[in-house]
Chain A
Amino acid sequence: MGFIMLSHRADLRMRVDGLTLAELFQSAFDGVMHVLKEKKPPQEIAKISKHRIKISSADESALLIDFLNEVLYSAYSRKEIYLSAVFQKLSDTELVAEIFGVPVKDFDEDIKAATYHEVQIKRNESGKLATVLVFDI
């Protein structure tokens, strides 16, 4: 698991990491989905939906937040939870991804947004890319 919850007085703070940028983004995606719905619904192949996300941002940190907000918008507006993300293109400023999900009746948590507050993707002492994320809940 590439994400871990940290303490925050009112909102949600999470540390995510990965050996590559794609792994880091995957960890953040998994972390958000874990918060949205800890117990995943049964995966019925016929009900799996696919959505494409294409975004560009100023740098890799902003790109991560913008990606997570795209995922949140898709989840809440479609009432879906996503099981996986496939990154077709991922640079420091551009991302193309496909996310695969299933419908849900409700969510465990109402994440208002991923914020830019503490995001700063850096390589840590163990050689992994890592950052802290703060979500408004």
Chain B
Amino acid sequence: MIIKDFKKINDYLWEIPQSFQGGMRVPARVYATEKILLASLDDRSMAQLLNVATLPGIYKYALAMPDIHEGYGFPIGGVAAMDAAEGVISPGGIGYDINCGVRLLRSDLSADVISSRINDLGDRIFAEVPSGTGRSGILKLSDKDLDLILKRGARGITEKGFGGKEDLDFLESCGELPDADPVMVSSRAKTRGQDQLGTMGAGNHFVEVGFVEKIFSKDAAEVFGLFLGQVTVLIHTGSRGLGHQVATDYIRAMMTAMPKYGIQIPDRELACAPFRSEEGQNYFKAMSAAANFAWANRQLIAWEVRKAWKDVLGESGGDLKTVYDVAHNLAKIEKYDDKELLVHRKGATRSFAKGNLEIPPRYRSVGQPVFIPGSMGTASYVLAGADGAMKNTFGTTAHGAGRQMSRTEARKSIEARALKEHMEAEGIRVFAGSLRGVAEEAPAAYKDIDAVADVVAEAGIAEKVARLRPLAAIKG
């Protein structure tokens, strides 16, 4: 595919017409500058987006956000809204890390107050939040307690004493999807999840202590409780092995079910079933349960971070309050054009504009908080949902910087120890279980986060509120 295949709608939006490739049911649209679009043509992300456009029941467009990059089945940064009555649900459109997402905590302190304690704080968080590929969490859940978490999500874990209403009121969907049914989660998935609550995992997951470096919208920042210089904590992780197993189980089940419904797809990883079918509903209930597990996971990690914060800073540190918690791998039923749609977001963030009743009342005057983390060592953005998203992207915006270099390339070309030293010279401490992981997640491996934030702002699908700069990156 070449850039001439795209119709330029404006400087930030490009379209491939439905007629471009046989089987496409709708056009494909990409939110990007010409530079970002050109870079995305180097991998298979656009071919994957066109495949998404062939799925039964897809409404209006297959969409890609500016952080698009090659995935499997769906591209990362892909969005597809399916007619809930006639369309399909595709586990590949959510991904293996169901409800991978981001939570932002805010403190009452300025960065200069904690600058001498940042090493201790990073060390303590690294010790309190299990990370990497083999460490268990602080809880070994009984079958009954795990079912409670799967059913009630973040509320379930707060009922065990790990947080409270002051958190739940500020989570997307209050951290609890009502359609969750633990019965639909296999015993294998439950086995994998039993000791993983409150763990970060590996890869691009992290906890990051940072501060508000710049404010773009004073009013929105004030509503979100953010001020210049304020210390913040970002938490990025998902549903761990439990979610991976739910996806594995149901993709396999849907491959078996597809012939029954006469569904043909260009890529097996897009395996799907009609949303209203038994298979579709079973997956939706299991996915919702895994999403609840992820919200409970980030809730417990927030509790662990608060413990570390208190251990290091004592009472003078004050509280770490939840700003918001967003999912970026999930399917949800939402209404657009008076139609009920099942919006699949794979590496894409919900971006509801002001006034939406799904938004906590405190934020309703500005829109929901949206978090777009950059790579380790660069900035992250806080944005607010915008009207353009409601009109054009099924209430969706980007989720991250998006990779521009493979992990292998990053390991070959970046010397982790030198990078760590360089970052520390820039005032960013790195606490990591493996140097290999540091190289893979290096800033050079990712697109320019500022460019991604500029695109979503210029396209009107989110409004910039604040930029965060890291002080300590804690990862597996």
Please list the residues of chain A having a beta carbon within 8 angstroms of any beta carbon in chain B. 5, 7-12, 58, 62, 66, 69, 73, 76-77, 79, 104-110, 112-113, 115-119, 134, 136-137
Q: A9-B69, A66-B252, A69-B248 are in contact. Are A110 and B203 (CB under 8 A)?
A: yes
0 or 1 for each of B216-229: is its CB under 8 Å from A? (1 = yes): 00000000000000
Beyond the given pairs A9-B403, A76-B241, A113-B244, 9 more chain A to chain B contacts, judged by CB atoms under 8 angstroms and listed by A's residue number, are: A7-B406, A73-B192, A76-B192, A77-B191, A105-B134, A106-B135, A115-B72, A117-B72, A136-B96
Per-residue A-contact encoding for B189-210, CB less than 8 Å = 1, 0 else: 0011000000001110000000
Taken together as a complex, chains A and B put the C-alpha atoms of A96 and B419 apart, in Å, by 47
In this complex, the interface size class of chain B, counting residues with CB under 8 Å from chain A, is 35 or more
A135 closest partner in B (C-beta): B72
Query: Given A7-B406, A9-B403, A62-B255, is A117 in contact with B192 using a C-beta cutoff of 8 Å?
Result: no
Closest to B74 in A: A117
- For A77, list chain B residues within 8 Å (CB): 188, 191-192, 241
Contact call B133/A9, Cβ cutoff below 8 A? no
A-B contact pairs, 10 of them (CB 8 A): A7-B409, A11-B72, A69-B252, A76-B241, A77-B188, A106-B135, A113-B96, A113-B248, A116-B255, A137-B203
B95 within 8 A of A: yes
A10 and B248 form a contact (CB under 8 A):
no
Most buried by B among A12, A109, A118: A109
Q: Are B202 and A110 in contact (CB-based, < 8 A)?
A: yes
Contacts of B191 in A (CB 8 A): 77
Q: Once the chains bind, are A9 and B43 in contact (CB under 8 Å)?
A: yes
Return the chain B residue nearest A120 by Cβ: B268
Cβ B407 vs Cβ A110 within 8 A: no
B406-459, CB < 8 A from A? 406-409, 434, 436
CB-CB under 8 A from B247, the residues of chain A are 112-113
Name the B residues within 8 Å of A79 (CB-CB).
134
Q: A58-B256, A66-B252 are in contact. Are A73 and B245 (CB under 8 A)?
A: yes
Q: How far is the CA of A25 from the CA of B408 in the complex (A)?
A: 24
Contact A117 B268 (CB under 8 A): yes
Docked-complex contact A116 and B268, CB < 8 angstroms: yes
State whether the Cβ of B132 lies closer than 8 Å to any Cβ in chain A.
yes
- Chain B residues positioned under 8 Å from A7 (CB to CB): 406, 408-409
In residues 37-81 of chain B, which contact A (Cβ within 8 Å)?
Answer: 43, 45, 69-73, 76
A residues near B45, Cβ cutoff 8 Å: 9
Considering the complex, give the chain B residue whose CB is closest to the CB of A76.
B241
Chain A residues near B252: list those with CB within 8 A. Answer: 66, 69
Cβ of B462 < 8 Å from any Cβ of A? no
User: Which chain B residues border A115 with CB–CB below 8 Å?
Assistant: 72-73, 92, 269
Binary flags per residue of B4-17, CB closer than 8 Å to A gives 1, else 0 = 00000000000000
**Chain A residue contacts of B436, Cβ below 8 A:** 108
A-B pairs, 6 with minimum CB distance: A106-B134, A116-B268, A117-B72, A112-B96, A107-B133, A117-B269
The reply to whether B244 and A134 form a contact with Cβ atoms under 8 Å apart is no
Which residues of B sit under 8 angstroms from A12, Cβ to Cβ?
407
Tell me, yes or no, whether B176 is within 8 Å of chain A by CB.
no
B267 contacts chain A at the CB level, 8 A cutoff: yes
B73, closest chain A residue (CB): A117
Give Cα A66–Cα B191 distance, bound, in whole angstroms.
Answer: 19
Q: Across the two chains, which residue of chain A brings its CB closest to B95?
A: A136
Question: A76-B241, A107-B134, A136-B95 in contact; A62/B192 too (CB < 8 A)?
Answer: no
- Residue B271 lies at the interface, judged by CB distance under 8 Å to chain A: yes
A37 nearest CB neighbor, chain B only: B133
- Docked Cα-Cα span, A119 to B271, in Å, equals 14
Contacting B133 at CB < 8 Å: which of A11, A108, A136?
A108
* Chain B residue contacts of A108, Cβ below 8 A: 133, 434, 436
Chain B residues positioned under 8 Å from A134 (CB to CB): 72
* B97 on interface, CB distance cutoff 8 Å: yes
Residue pair B267, A117 in contact (C-beta under 8 Å) = yes
* Nearest CB of B to A33, in Å: 14
Whether A8 and B134, one on each chain, are in contact in the complex, defined by CB atoms closer than 8 angstroms, is: no
Tell me if A116 and B406 are in contact (CB < 8 A): no
Shortest Cβ distance from B19 into chain A, in angstroms? Answer: 26
Question: Which residue of A has the minimal Cβ distance to B404?
Answer: A9
**Residue pair B76, A10 in contact (C-beta under 8 Å):** yes
In whole angstroms, how far apart are the Cα atoms of A7 and B95 in the complex?
20
**Which residue from B133, B267, B406 sits with its C-beta under 8 Å from A106?**
B133
Residues 96-112 of chain B, each 1 if its beta carbon lies under 8 Å from chain A, else 0: 11000000000000000
